[in-house]
Amino acid sequence: MYYGYSTIWILIPAMIFAFYAQSRVKANYNKYAKVRNATGLTGADVAKEILRRNGLSHVQVVRGQGKLSDHYDPRSEAVTLSPHVFDQASISAASIAAHECGHAVQHSEGYAPLNIRSTIVPATNIATKLSPFLVLGGLLLASSGGLILLDLGIIAYIMITLFHVVTLPVEFNASHRAIEMLTDYGMVYEEDMVGTKKVLNAAALTYVAAMLSALLSVVRLIVLRNSRD
């Protein structure tokens, strides 16, 4: 178990970056949630109009629950927006709504990274549930069985890392589409664009942080494994 604690420093950069990313998300979201967008459109209005213009009127726009719980579900073909995003006509609301609609457009176009991510979701979910037990068992068992469990833990974390790597182009592309659609459809004026980009760029940092955390977890487990070999 000592080795487990002695290698925790490997994760410190990811912890620091994750804290920074979350602080930027909260700061930018809260700041621009108080700034009314120039068009006066709520997040729900923005989402419905973007979907309509892309021939996706069948995609539902649903009022969800919880702050920053916004997401697009390709199975039910529904864009779920948190109450503040759904109801408010702020820069933050318009930006987030457009981003989630970006995923809906990706889905309709068969965007490859999104398809890959959807395909590996089941395996990633299993890996996420099993990985802590595999690693703990690998650290507790001193026999060759411990090494086998650590190897399986490494494989699980590699699967998780792959999911986060694939997620990056999906999220960055959705934000790029959001900015283009908001601009092309006249839903964001020049004075709103700075805030829009800040909100979306800050959100993107959280996905980079998740990928970095998963990658460094793999590195840490490899170090642990080699120290036990």
Q: Six-digit token pair at 82?
A: 């948190």
Identify the active-site residue in 77, 100, 180, 190. Answer: 100
Q: 68-104 pLDDT, tens per residue?
A: 899 999 999 999 999 999 999 999 999 999 999 999 9
Q: Six-digit token pair at 178?
A: 């959001």
How far, in whole angstroms, is CA 32 from its chain's centroid? Answer: 20
Handedness of CA 54, 55, 57, 61 (dihedral sign): negative
pTM (2 d.p.): 0.90
Handedness of CA 42, 47, 50, 51 (dihedral sign): negative
Name residue 71's beta-bridge partners.
Answer: 80
Residue 100 annotated as catalytic:
yes
Residue 229 has pLDDT above 70, yes or no: no
Percent over 70 (pLDDT), the chain: 95
Handedness of CA 62, 64, 68, 70 (dihedral sign): negative
Q: 169-180 pLDDT, tens per residue?
A: 999 999 999 999
Q: 108-127 pLDDT, tens per residue?
A: 999 999 999 999 999 999 99
